[in-house]
Amino acid sequence: MVCLGNICRSPTAEGVLRKLLHDQGLQHVIEVDSAGTSGWHDGEPPDRRTIGAAAKRGYDLAAQRSRKVVASDFEQHHYILAMDDQNLRDLNSLCPPQHRSKLGLLLQYGDSEIPHVPDPYEQPAAAFDTVLDLCENACSDLLQQLVKTHSLAAARSQP
């Protein structure tokens, strides 16, 4: 999950997907992470408003720390999902050509009528709830797609 500073949108998406994975017993099968295309907030926790809005819905983001996308991310991860077009363009410029097929937008999943997760940073508190709504919808669909595409239900039921 990738946004600009890795303190609002991408930590929210990471936290939502992490909880969905836990609820489905897939937390040891799928790894989820988040990063930013900038290093402005390296080492910082998510924005306090992000943590607060997420906590109200049962997501714990407090242990997350911001980091910048690094070259090894493109090799290690199978899906690299940006929150908006600008971050997707930035990822494309950083990504080696052989890994560009891994790049996409988070909201290509779910049924949102908008294509991007809006940046809530300079917006009223309600914007953080909108980010959660969008991430919950997209991450739920993403997880369904991952389970189907990679036959994870069968792998999960094996000892």
Q: Torsions phi, psi of 103, nearest 5?
A: -85, 145
Active site residue 156: no
Under DSSP, the state recorded for 38 is S
The Cα 147–Cα 127 span in angstroms is 30
Catalytic residue among 3, 8, 135, 139: 3
Indicate if the alpha-carbon torsion angle 49, 60, 41, 76 is positive or negative: negative
Active site residue 119: yes
The b-or-e profile of 115-152 (16+ CB within 10 A means b, else e) is ebbebbbeeeeebbebbbebbbbbbebbbeebbeeeeb
Tokens for 135?
């991430």
Catalytic residue among 47, 84, 90, 119: 119
Active site residue 8: no
Catalytic residue among 9, 49, 84, 90: 9
The Cα 49–Cα 53 span in angstroms is 6
User: Which residues have a catalytic role annotated?
Assistant: 3, 9, 119
